[in-house]
Amino acid sequence: MGKLVIKVGATYSNGNFHSHWEVRQILAQDVPCGTPECVEYKVLAGPHRRRNFTCSLEEFSRWARYEVARDENSWRISSEN
């Protein structure tokens, strides 16, 4: 699998298990945060659910293992991967 292209509106997972698993949705790119490229995201599943955060695009890219899509009551790896 190649490097992920991070897109506004897309959802990503870190691929971890149990309480370390998380799904995040990109809300905006190029937001101010002190570094040239930053993203704002919302946690959709995991310990920080329903909270928004900002981090560098590089940090988010290191965290994300794959793009995911909602499938009824669960998440699956996106067919775009």
pLDDT digits (tens, 9 = 90+) for 16-62: 999 999 999 999 998 888 777 999 999 999 999 999 999 999 999 99
Which range of residues forms the domain containing residue 31? 11-72
CA distances from 26 to 8, 18, 48 (A): 5, 22, 15
The answer to the question of residue 60 being in a domain is: yes
Please, which pLDDT band fits residue 80 given cuts at 50, 70 and 90? low
Tally of domains within the chain? 1
pTM here is 0.88
- The 3-state DSSP class for residue 69 equals strand
| Closest to 58 (Cα-Cα) out of 8, 10, 17, 3 | 3
The answer to the question of residue 80 being in a domain is: no
Tokens 């490229």: give the residue.
37
Q: What would the 3-class secondary structure string for 29-45 be?
A: ECCCCCCCCEEEEEEEE
